[in-house]
Structures are given as structure tokens and as C-alpha cells.
Amino acid sequence: MATAADKKARIGVLGASGYTGAELVRLLIRHPRAELVLLTADRRAGQEMRQVFPQFAPLALPRLQSIEGMDWAAAGLDLIFCALPHATTQKVIQQIVNVLPAIRIVDLSADFRLADPAAYARWYGHEHHAPELQRQAVYGLVEVYREKVRHAQLVANPGCYTTCAQLALIPLLRAKTIDPDEIVIDAKSGMTGAGRAAKEEMLFSEVSEGFHAYGVGHHRHMAELDQEFALAAGREVVVSFTPHLVPMNRGIFSTIYVRGLKRSAEDLHAVLQETYAREPFVHLLPFGQMPQSRHVRGSNMTFIGVAKDRVDGRAIIVSTLDNLTKGASGQAVQNMNVMLGFPETMGLEQVALFP
Amino acid sequence: MATAADKKARIGVLGASGYTGAELVRLLIRHPRAELVLLTADRRAGQEMRQVFPQFAPLALPRLQSIEGMDWAAAGLDLIFCALPHATTQKVIQQIVNVLPAIRIVDLSADFRLADPAAYARWYGHEHHAPELQRQAVYGLVEVYREKVRHAQLVANPGCYTTCAQLALIPLLRAKTIDPDEIVIDAKSGMTGAGRAAKEEMLFSEVSEGFHAYGVGHHRHMAELDQEFALAAGREVVVSFTPHLVPMNRGIFSTIYVRGLKRSAEDLHAVLQETYAREPFVHLLPFGQMPQSRHVRGSNMTFIGVAKDRVDGRAIIVSTLDNLTKGASGQAVQNMNVMLGFPETMGLEQVALFP
Amino acid sequence: MATAADKKARIGVLGASGYTGAELVRLLIRHPRAELVLLTADRRAGQEMRQVFPQFAPLALPRLQSIEGMDWAAAGLDLIFCALPHATTQKVIQQIVNVLPAIRIVDLSADFRLADPAAYARWYGHEHHAPELQRQAVYGLVEVYREKVRHAQLVANPGCYTTCAQLALIPLLRAKTIDPDEIVIDAKSGMTGAGRAAKEEMLFSEVSEGFHAYGVGHHRHMAELDQEFALAAGREVVVSFTPHLVPMNRGIFSTIYVRGLKRSAEDLHAVLQETYAREPFVHLLPFGQMPQSRHVRGSNMTFIGVAKDRVDGRAIIVSTLDNLTKGASGQAVQNMNVMLGFPETMGLEQVALFP
Amino acid sequence: MATAADKKARIGVLGASGYTGAELVRLLIRHPRAELVLLTADRRAGQEMRQVFPQFAPLALPRLQSIEGMDWAAAGLDLIFCALPHATTQKVIQQIVNVLPAIRIVDLSADFRLADPAAYARWYGHEHHAPELQRQAVYGLVEVYREKVRHAQLVANPGCYTTCAQLALIPLLRAKTIDPDEIVIDAKSGMTGAGRAAKEEMLFSEVSEGFHAYGVGHHRHMAELDQEFALAAGREVVVSFTPHLVPMNRGIFSTIYVRGLKRSAEDLHAVLQETYAREPFVHLLPFGQMPQSRHVRGSNMTFIGVAKDRVDGRAIIVSTLDNLTKGASGQAVQNMNVMLGFPETMGLEQVALFP
């Protein structure tokens, strides 16, 4: 007999035709406590999900709908994942909350990640369209804000680059073990991080057999890092951060150069060891060993390694995760699990697909 | 309270350091009714699985052992997956069966796929080392031999190329809808199909950014095809078969050219439609649509498409699967499920990882 | 002292912002007898070539212009390469010829490849816009039409798929050594063959780590094959032809299945051996050996191999070339060399770039 | 009539079966003043080059020989390229020089790059086997040591990682514009940099679809950097250096983080601009623009970009080259050109192969 404990949450995914949307569907369709009842994709409205992502052909899924004119109350939703583009997001979420004041939302865009309206306006060049929601939103890095996430109505799911860097650095900044003025993050991403929009520079022939940096010196993700690193360090932190694109589909790999504050590389490893001893989705390798992005592919894991640099007093930290899973949709499901009182790892147990 | 129905089967994997071994562990570690109690890998004996495949680092797994001197009775095994090299396999399985007459075995090598000892000797150049077992072995293409598999002690798991071609062609040969003398199979495989042995021709720099055929005219996999196609057609069938290597990790993709016997391409599609209407791991696309290998990656699905050729009376059939999953370890777990009376899809529900 | 023999031809490239345009520039900038004096690219007009293809940054090249309002007479051109899209091409070339009746043109589009106006109309759904030029155009497969090319004003440069298949099959059809009703061409192409237009299905994340067929049963390239194969065989020839996309940048690889007419596979090899003994850009491997696409990358070579099939009376032929070089721009330069009386291999001596 | 000026140099390549060997042959076979008269490859001795690298099949090349028992005097060599493994190199070159005191040699190994015998012994764990030659060897970074190279008998061709970093940093260290204690070099390499030896970790399936660092904190290449940076700065310089592997064939891409000494990023750009204004193989992009590795593929160019970091006083420099060309064999040919008095760019004019 089905008990209340087994009741499934009714879930909607807004923006199901992008890569993070597909990843949400991949995870939620096999989640024991989630029922996918609403999928939207404005440009593909009326189509079946199999027309947009053929891997779902054997599965029963709701037809794609448009957000336009949606009767939000009719769907009987418990929680919404919002994987819409920047700016659109703010307006849509505000409309939904107006109609459904008790709805729970996990937003995968950057729209609600900055708590400070002034910082938002500075980075994005306009006032926030939903400032009250912005104030209430909880930054959804579960390993740092688990208790706040539990009670949040609106969770701002962190970015992929920033999740990867924060999980490595926040414990060290909090413990004041590294110099906040000497942090260099050299970050590399697989191509899915750039999304599914048809752009010349994302074509296979432009991207394969090569490597490049982009947004050098002024990448928008830094706003989120600045905010969270300052909270962790109790002071302003401005890091060097350079993103690159790797000819692979999935993965964020961050090589982080730090200088210890009278602490050895071994000390830094010990701080991370203690922090993550019981975290299900962060795995610290033995000191001196470094992870590879391929070994977290398709899983919700973050692998972290710490080694001594040859320059005295410095350490090198490598942090890697799958940008679509722990860097986006997997972390979003992790947030859902915490928000709805499910076991945190439910539906996220898949082992990485390697090779 | 745990009931008999929930009791886990005690499972061993022989040859866990290869790609099919890793894929077995990936699937079995999350299988609700399987408990991994024995992993072997002769050259890596004594090591942890994480040293061989770092993606397993966060998981508790038995340490790798050597087959040499193994006390087979001590492990209390219910079923063994054997992913050992050709020839070794025959001897090891014979030894195990000598000690454990009731053990169930799924063998992933080619050693027990040929039922006819003479055919075996002709293709492999020597007598079979376990001829009695060879006679008893059941060819484990579940969609064709489900009932035999249920009661088999030893199941010979089919090869990746051959599974892909058979699922497309056996129903058509059985229904006598195509000319058995006019079949061309142009098959393409991802690189994991070549295994993990360190060979110059498998290096990244030799393989990426290029395409080639191999074993043209004399590939060993044909023995298995000859046997099964003859059984299906009720006469000798000799097909053209050319394997190629694609610079990708996973996937078999077979483009099959056939001539209908007074049947149209639509008729062939209808035969497949009827055959696979209720099969969980074979999905037939609507007539005229063709599948892509990437949409079955990491899943146990086979996707099949049928289209009319421009040459009158001919059809083109495309069949695709993941060589490590439905083409090897996923199919092996499917066999286990049938052999042990578990639901056939148990532990194999994962949706393909795309992108 | 510069003699007349050393005088450089003044060359224009129309459509220099696509991949075949870039490949033309790569080859012509180092051609001892060519001087690049005009580059056009309508959407990038006014820009430097380095903004469109940064590899040219260290080189002096003319700024990109628009075709709109071009004073064709002013440029003093000897020969034009036209790498414009289908249909546009016909109109532009007609305009140029109206102004410059003696200009020589190599057209890389499909617009002038079909000699028969009725065939053109049937395949493309509209009358040709320059029917007189269509009649005069010479099909630029140098190995077959060298003498005609020498005197042609307008050369229709063959397609990449079709060059690859024709070089393997035309000698065999001419010699009546194979059955024209039993030809299957399973063709695979690198991604540059799909051009540089920003389309979702050409994104890196859609294409890498997978394999698929497209245009099954109705690919437009067949018109060209039908025409040339009929001329070679002296009768209608309708082949099976299926194109596929490989996750690599460059290369066409055709696996061709044929049935000999009382000829062995060795006989077919001998016919090709005799045909190509002195051709600089076709290399036949020893009987039974098969080429790889990577070994012609960036070169103007076609590599061909022939092997016996296991089905009695059949042979398998593999033909491979670089779709941007011998399959497009290299062949166009080869045509130029013949048209202008330069040594045929001039500027095309580069060895393949492998690895 | 052939004049003395046109006389070809007689060239030998030792170790022709590796990737740098093949790249030397690719370049030298088209070099107007080089004649390949000797190719060695011990394990492949007696074979044709086409059996080892099929792209050379259409070309006439000397058969591969073994070094064992070679009569060095008989070949009439003017210059030898040595692409042999570490340690073997020292002994072989000493033997050759003993027999041919006037021979010119370009060595592509690391054996003669360290001028200080003590440094060599410290890094490699044993005394140098040819200490006198070690003292005489000239470090072959032409842009820095052009005059010394001109008169050198033995040139130690720099490594790929180190060429890439040195061309970016040596002018800045010399000009004392950056802090030598605050240099972080995050370096990424294509797979050919790891050579052609059959190792499990270099298999396609291990490498594709992933990214990783290696040798963190203790990479041997640092010895060479330490030496050259100290010479440039006039003091000890110890940099952070982390190499990574990218799933691509060719390319080194170094992201370099520096702190200006009362100099802005624009100042650093100006220093490089002045240094490289007339260098044929170093191209500096306009300030703020960053190069991509694919745009130097197959060419002998180094592309460098400089941008302002968001951290005050810091700059980010990106340097990229093809590890087999400017990072190895192209640079070796450049050295040969200087040594033999040929134009420095002779045989190295090829434009990068993109896409």
C-alpha cells in the first residue's frame, strides 16, 4: 500500500529543450519520489520530448508546452525547476509565485544568485525585475547552505564553474589557511557548458582539435565567486579566473594555485578532509593525487586533489565535476531532495560513465 | 523485514580491470538484488578497484584478487560474470564448474558462442578445451532465447557487433522477407570495443581525427553471425560484413543493406514492429527515421530504423547500441536477471547519457 | 629576371569566409604562380581575413569585399574560384561572364555539375538560371576529363563524396568489370563537409561521441553520381548510397561493395593499378590493404584499397580523401593548374598532416 | 644549371618512427635544400617508412635502418636530426661525433639542454655520458640564440612546453617588467606530446572526453625553464608550472599569470611587440585578444596574446604553438636553416591547417 512517505512530488521543468533541461529529465524520470508532470520549451511547444532529445523516445513524458498563457495553478505542481535564459527567468518566476505563493522553485539561471541588488545591477546593467524574491532566494550550494536550503522557497542553483571552485576554496578561506590575494583559478570546461544555441564558434569543426580561453579578465561568473568568497573569508576577495573550452562534452576542471598562510599543502588537505568526511558528493583524493574530469562524467560527484607546488609555500588544488550534473541539474535535484525532505542522494546514485 | 524475495545474489566478476569489467561493476553496484562479493584481475591483484578505475573511489568494493589458487567454494557465489580473454576463459570456467556444479555463469567472451565444436575448431584453429560445457551453453540473446536463458547454467553473452546486427535481421530472416544472399552489413564501432590493452594503433593520436576499416573480409565475429543467421533463415547465410573504428568511446552503428523478397521496406518495418512491440530494450523508430549512436550511450537500449533505398526493392536498416552496455555488460546483466528470476529491466533502467 | 613563364595569375576567391574558401586561401597563398588579389564574403565584407580565420593573421591578404556592386573588370583577374552557396552561384557567374567573356572560372558549388538541364530541373526543382553556361561547363574530375578541363572556361568542381566514389568506380564501370546493379556505397564524412553555417545539429556537443547517417535514400549528391556512372558504364546506373557523419573534421571514407562480372577482386585491383599508375593524386595500396582517412588529411591525395569479400564473387573497395582538399579546394587548384598550363601538382605537394 | 647555392644538404633522421620523426620527414621531404638520405628506427629496421606512417606511401624515401653497426662516414651526411629517447641520445651522438668531427647535429631530446653538468646530474640522477659535448651544445631557441646557433655544431632543440613559455616570458624577464616570484604557468598539451609508445593511459578511450593534469609539482621540463629564466632575469626564478593533457592531437597552450613590476599589462604587450616585430615565427595579437591552439596547427608559428587581469597589477598572457612543429620538428628545421645558412623560413612556410 502506498503511504504518504511514498507519495511522489509533482514536478515541472521549464526550459526542457536545453542541455540542463535534458539532464533534469534524465535524472528525474528515474527518481523514486518525483513525477514529471510539466515540461515547457517555447520554441518547441507542441512537440514530443523525443523530437528534441531522441534518447527519451522509449519513455512516456508529457508533451512540451509553451509558458505563454500557462495556467500555473492547474498543473498541481509541488516544485518547479527553472532552466530558462537570463532575465526571462526573473519575470517568469515572479509570475508563478504570484499565482502559487507556496510553490518551491529551483532556478538554474544566474538571476537569483547575487543577494545584493546593487551588485546585481552593476554586473548585469539593469535593476532586478523581482527584487523581493532576490532577497529571499537561498544560494543553493548544499554543502555550505544545507539548512537554509531545507526551508527555502526559491533556491538559486550555483553555476558550474563556481561550484567547482567554491567546493575547493570555501573551507580554506573560512579556516583562514590561504592568502585571499594570491588565488589563481585556471578553469576548463566541456562544450555543453556553452549551451545548445546554434553559434558558429560552437560548431564541431571550430572546436575540436583545439583549445582556447575566453572572456579573459571579465567573465560574469566572477560576481558569484566574489560574493561567496567574501562571505567565507570575511573580507573582499578578488581572484584571477580564466575560463577555457576543452573539446569534450562534459566536465569542469579547475587548477587552483594558492599560497598557504603559514600552512603547508598537507594542512590544506587536512582542512578539506575534515570538511568533506561525510559529504556524499565531494570526494577528496589522498594527498598528492589529482583527479580527472572523465571519472565524474554523468555523476553528481566532485573530486578534489591537493598537491605541494614546487614553489615554497604554495599548493595546487584540482577540483573537477560534471558541469551538467553537479554543476547544474544534479545539484538542482540535490537541492530538491533537501527542500522536500527526501534522502539527499536519492536519484543521484549513478556511478560515472567511464569510459 | 527482509524477505526471501529481497535476498541479494552473491556475484563475482572475473576480469574486472577491463572495460566490460568496469561496466559490469557500474551496473551491479546499483542493482537492487546483486551484491558484488568477488572481483578478480590477475595483473592488478591486490589493488583496490579505485586504482584501476578511479570513478569507483567513493564506493566500497572488494579488493581485486588473482584467479590463481582461488578457493571458488569459499566465496559463496550465486553467479559469476566472466570477462576474461579468449581461451583462458574455457579453462577457468571448466575449473569453476568442476568445483561448483550448480554455479550460474554469464561468459562475455566468444568462447562458448559457437555450438558446433567443428565450427569452433575451424574458426579458432584448435579443439575446444571444454567441449561438454560448449554443448550445454545457451546463446544469450535474450530477445531470441529468453526461455532457454532462464534455465541455463552457462550463458554465452553475444558480441557487440553481432547483437546489433542480429536484432535487426533475425526477425526478417525468420519471416523470410529478405534475400539471405544480398545482405551487406557496414558496421562501425567506438574505440572501447577494442579493449584496454596498450596497443600503438589504439593510441589517441593514432585514432582521433580519422576513420578506418579493419579485418576486411575475414573478421572473426562472422562465425557467430553465420550460426545464428542460418538458424533464423533455415539455410546457410553468408553476409558481407565490414567493421570500422570511429573516433568515439562507445557505440556500435550498423548500416545494413537488404533486398526484400517481394516485400517493401514498409513491410520489413512492420515485421520488426510486431517483433519488438513489447521488448523493453529494443526501440523501433517510425518508418523512415534513423537513430544515432549517441542516443543510446550508456543505456541498454538498441535503436533500429528502417528506410526505403533509392534502388527499387531494397531497404536500408540502421541498428545502434552501446557496445559496453547492450553490446556486452548490460546484456550480461539482462541475462542474469532472466536466469535468477529478477525483473528483466532491473538495474538497467538508466536513460542514455546525451549530450 | 622574371620571365613570362614566371608571371603570376591574378586570382579571385568568391566566398572566402567558408571552409572551402579558407582552404583555397591556404593553398593559393603558397602557390608559386598564383596571386590572391580579390577575396569576397558578403556578410564579412570590410573585415580582414584574420578576423574570419585567425590562422591567416601573419599574412598579407586583401580585405574582404562584397560581391554587391563589384566592378569585375577593375580587378584584372585571370581566374576566379567560386565558393558561393547553391543558386546564388549561377547568377553571379553569369554576371561575371557577361562582363568578362574570357575569364576562367572554377566553381565549387553543385550548380554546374549536371550537364542535362532536365536532370537539373528534376533534382533542384527549378530551371537553371544560366542554361547556356551549364551546357559549356566541364565537369572537373581531372583524372577523367583532363583534356576538356585544359580548354574549359568554366569548370564545375566535383563534390567530395562523389570524387571519392568516382575515382574508385569509374575505371571499373568503364572496363565493365563490375555489376552496375549491385553497387553499395557506404560513405562517411568529417564535419567540415557540412559547412560553417551555425546549425544546432552541427554543434560540438551534438556531434562528438556519436555517429549517424543522414539523408538516407534521397541524398542530392546522387544526381552527379548517376550522371557520371552512366557515362562510364554506357547505361543507367543506380547505386545505393548512404552518407554518415563522423566526429572528425576532415575526411571522406567510402566503403564500396561490388560484385565482379566474372572478375575476381584481384582483377579489379589490376584495372585500378593500370588506370592510376601515373596519376599524381591517386595512390592505390597493395591488394588486400586498406587506407585510413587520417593519412590523407590536408593533402590532395586519394588513397584506394581493394580486398576480397568473404562472399564469393564480391569485392570491397575503400576510397578516402580529404573533403576540403581533393574533395573541394585542392581539386579546384588542380583544375586551375591544368587550365592555366601550370604543372598539375604545383602548390599541392604538401604531405598529409598526421598525426 | 644547378649552382653551389642550390646544392642540397644531405640529411639523416635518427628515430624516424616516432611522431617528431614523422614531422621531420613531412617538412624535409618538401624542403628545397634538404635531401633525406638516411632514416633510422631500430625496432622497424628494414621496413619502408610507409609501413610505419602510411601517409608517406606515395613518396620515395630511404628504407629504415638500425643504428647498430651503422657506418656513419659512408652516408656522406651534412646534418643529422636526432629524435631518439633520453640517454640513448648522449651515447649515439658521442659516437657519431667521434667518427665525424665536422658533422652538424640538431638533437630533439632533452639530453643536451642543460648546460650545467651538476644540474643535469641532479635532475636526471646520473652523470652525463658526453660531458664535453654538453658544454659545447647550444640551446636552440633561435629567437634568443640565433647567432650562437649559426656556428654551433650541436644544437639542443628546446622542448615544446618550454618553447611556448619562454617565447612569452623571456623578453619580459629580461626587461625586468614582471615579478619573477609570481609567475604561474598553466600549460595544456595535445596528446602527440606524449609520444607514440603504447601505454594504457594514452589509449583513445582513456583520453577522449576528459581532461587531467599530470606530473603536478615535479615535471622534468622545469629544469630547462629554470636555466633559461635565470639567464633572462639575472637571478634564480622558480615558477609554478602544471602540465595538462587535452583530448586533441596537436598543440601547446599556456595560460600564464604574471604580476607587473610597476608596469601595466599594456606595457608588457609593448615589450613583446618590440621584441617580435620582425620575427617570422612569433605573432603577437593586438592587446586584449587571445589566440587559439587550432590556428597554429601544423605551422611553425607561435601566437601570443596579452590581456589585463581583473586583479590590479596583474596580466594574463597566452602563448600557443604546435608541439610537433614549432615545439619540436619545425623548430629543428629552423635551427638547421640557421646552421646551414639557408633562409630561416625555408620549408616552414605552410599555413596552419584549420579547420
Quick one: average pLDDT of B218-239? 92
Chain D, window 301-320: residues with a beta carbon less than 8 angstroms from a chain C beta carbon = 301, 303
Instruction: Number of helices (H) and strands (E) in chain C: give both, helices first.
Output: 11, 14
Confidence band for C1, pLDDT divided at 50, 70 and 90: very low
Check CB contact under 8 Å for D222 and A250.
no
Q: Which of D160, D167, D185, D328 is catalytic?
A: D160
Cβ-Cβ contacts under 8 Å, D208 against chain B: 191, 204, 208, 247-249
Dist CA A110 CA A140 (whole Å): 11
Partner A contacted by D269 (CB < 8 A): no
Stretch 211-230 of chain C: residues touching chain B, C-beta under 8 Å: 211-214, 216-218, 222
**Least CB-CB distance to A208: which of C196, C199, C208?**
C208
Interface test with A, best of B53, B55, B322 (most A CBs within 10 A): B55
Q: Name the residue among C194, C199, C247 with its Cβ closest to that of A198.
A: C199
Mean pLDDT across B145-169: 98
State residue B220's pLDDT score.
74
B57 and B31 Cβ atoms separated by less than 8 Å: no
- The tens digit of pLDDT for each residue in A193-222 reads 999 999 999 999 999 999 999 988 777 778
Query: Which amino acid, one-letter code, is at A181?
Result: D
Q: How far is A181 from chain D (nearest CA, A)?
A: 9
- pLDDT for the residue A243: 97
Question: What angle is formed at CA A23 by the lines to CA A22 and CA A25, rounded to 5 degrees?
Answer: 65
Contact present, B23 and B91 (Cβ < 8 Å): no
Mean per-residue pLDDT for A95-120?
96
pLDDT-based confidence at residue A1 (cuts at 50, 70, 90): very low
Catalytic residue among C160, C168, C170, C339: C160
Q: What does residue D259 show for φ and ψ, rounded to 5 degrees?
A: -115, 125
Positions of B annotated as catalytic residues are: 160
Contact D167, D302 (CB under 8 A): yes
pLDDT in tens, B95-114: 999 999 999 999 999 999 99
Spell out which residues of chain B touch residue A301, defining contact as CB-CB under 8 Å. 58
Rama region for C180: left / alpha / beta (φ>0; ψ in -120 to 50; rest): alpha
Q: Give the whole-number percent of chain B exceeding pLDDT 70.
A: 99
Tell me: the pLDDT tens digits for C216-272?
Answer: 877 777 899 999 999 999 999 999 999 999 999 999 999 999 999 999 999 999 999
Buried b (16+ CB within 10 A) or exposed e, D227-244: bbbebbbeeebbbbbbbb
Query: Is B297 within 8 Å of chain C by CB?
Result: yes
Q: With an 8 Å Cβ cutoff, is D208 touching chain B?
A: yes
Task: Encode pLDDT of C159-198 as tens digits.
Answer: 999 999 999 999 999 999 999 999 999 999 999 999 999 9
Which of D19, D194, D198 is closest, CB to CB, to B198?
A: D198
CB within 8 Å: A56 and B283? no
A16, A29 in Cβ contact below 8 A? Answer: no
Q: How far away is chain B from the Cα of C310, in angstroms, using its nearest Cα? A: 5
Looking at the complex, does the CB of residue C65 fall below 8 Å from at least one CB of chain A?
Answer: no
Question: In the predicted model, is pLDDT for residue C143 greater than 70?
Answer: yes
Task: List, for residues A68-100, the tens digit of each pLDDT value.
Answer: 999 999 989 999 999 998 878 999 999 999 999
The 10s digit of each residue's pLDDT in C100-137 is 999 999 999 999 999 999 999 999 999 999 999 999 99
Tell if the CB–CB gap between D242 and A316 is shorter than 8 Å: yes
The reply to whether residue C204 touches residue A208, judged by beta carbons under 8 angstroms, is yes
Cβ-based neighbours of C98, under 8 Å, separated by 6 or more: none
Phi, psi of B29 (to 5 degrees): -65, -25
- CA–CA dist C160, B109 (Å, integer): 40
pTM for this model (two decimals): 0.97
- Tell me the chain B residues in contact with residue A54 when contact means C-beta distances shorter than 8 Å: 291-292, 295, 303
Over residues B109-120, the pLDDT tens digits come to 999 999 999 999
How many residue pairs from chains B and C have C-beta atoms closer than 8 A?
Answer: 151
What pLDDT, in 10s, does the model give residues D231-272?
999 999 999 999 999 999 999 999 999 999 999 999 999 999
Residue A252, beta-bridge partner list: A189, A321
CA distance A164 to A326: 9
DSSP letter at B298 equals T
Residues of B in contact with C218 (CB under 8 A): 310
Q: Mean pLDDT for chain C?
A: 96
Burial D49-74 (b: 16+ CB within 10 A, else e): bbebbbbbbbbebbebbebeebebee
Q: State the pLDDT at residue C4.
A: 55
Query: If phi over 0 gives left and psi between -120 and 50 gives alpha, with beta otherwise, what is residue B323?
Result: alpha
Give the pLDDT confidence score for residue A4 in this predicted structure.
55
Lateral strand order in the sheet of D34-40? D64-65, D34-40, D9-14, D79-82, D104-107, D154-156, D138-139
Rg (CA), chain A: 20
Residue to test with chain D: of A229, A249, A310, most D Cβ within 10 A: A310
Q: Does D282 have pLDDT greater than 60? A: yes
A216:D307 CB<8 A: yes
Helix axes of C117-124 and C222-233: crossing angle, nearest 10 degrees? 150
Grid coordinates representing B118 are 567443428
Task: Report ipTM (2 d.p.).
Answer: 0.96
C-alpha B30/C-alpha B33 separation (Å) is 9
pLDDT at A345 (0 to 100): 98
Q: Are C185 and C256 in contact (CB under 8 A)?
A: yes
Asked if the Cβ–Cβ distance from B58 to A295 is below 8 Å, we say no
**Residue A178 pLDDT greater than 80, yes or no:** yes
pLDDT for D6: 73
User: What is the pLDDT, as a whole number, of residue D222?
Assistant: 87
Q: How distant is the Cα of A163 from the closest Cα of chain B, in angstroms?
A: 19
Cβ distance A310 to D240 less than 8 Å, yes or no, reads: yes
Q: What is the DSSP string of C107-119?
A: E-SSTTS---HHH
Q: Distance between CA D188 and CA D255 in Å, rounded?
A: 8
The fraction of chain C above a pLDDT of 90, given in percent, is 93
Write out residues 3-22 of A within 8 Å (CB-CB) of D.
none
| pLDDT score, position A6 | 74
Contact assessment for residue B239 and residue B256, using Cβ atoms and an 8 Å cutoff? no
Query: Residue B219: which pLDDT band, with cuts at 50, 70 and 90?
Result: confident
**3-class DSSP state for residue A330?**
helix
Characterize A54-76 residue by residue with b for buried, 16 or more Cβ atoms within 10 angstroms of its Cβ, and e for exposed. bbbbbbebbebbebeebebeebe
Residue D346, C-beta contacts closer than 8 angstroms, at least 6 positions apart: D31, D32, D33, D337
Q: Which of C251-255, C279-283, D6-10, D163-167 has the lowest mean pLDDT?
A: D6-10
Whether A113 and chain B come into contact, CB under 8 Å, resolves to no
Bridge partners, A122 (sequence order): none
Helix intervals (H) in chain A: 19-28, 49-52, 88-99, 117-124, 131-136, 142-151, 160-174, 204-207, 222-233, 265-276, 330-339
pLDDT tens figures, D181-232: 999 999 999 999 999 999 999 999 999 999 999 988 777 778 999 999 999 9
Q: What is the pLDDT confidence band of residue B2, given thresholds at 50, 70 and 90?
A: very low
- CB-based contact (8 Å) between B26 and chain A? yes
Residue the block writes with cell 566465496: B75
Q: Locate cell 523516445: which residue?
A: A57
Residue C86 confidence class, pLDDT cut points 50, 70, 90: confident
Chain A residue with the nearest C-alpha to that of C205: A249
Q: Does the pLDDT value for residue A176 go beyond 60?
A: yes
Contact call for residues C255 and C305 (beta carbons, < 8 A): no
Contacts for B209 with CB less than 8 Å, ≥ 6 apart: A208, A209, B247, C248, C249, C250, C251, C294, C297, C355, D249
Q: What is the mean pLDDT of residues B244-256?
A: 98
Enumerate residues 6+ apart whose C-beta is below 8 A from A238. Answer: A181, A226, D310, D311
The predicted pLDDT at position D244 comes to 98
Q: CA B290, CA A258: separation in Å to the nearest integer?
A: 51
The yes-or-no answer on residue C160 being catalytic is: yes
- Residue-level pLDDT at A87: 79
Contact list, D199 vs chain B (CB under 8 Å): 198
The answer to whether B283 touches B306, Cβ cutoff 8 Å, is no
Mean predicted confidence (pLDDT) in A12-16: 98
Query: Confidence band (pLDDT; 50, 70, 90) for C289?
Result: very high
Structure confidence at residue C330 (pLDDT):
98
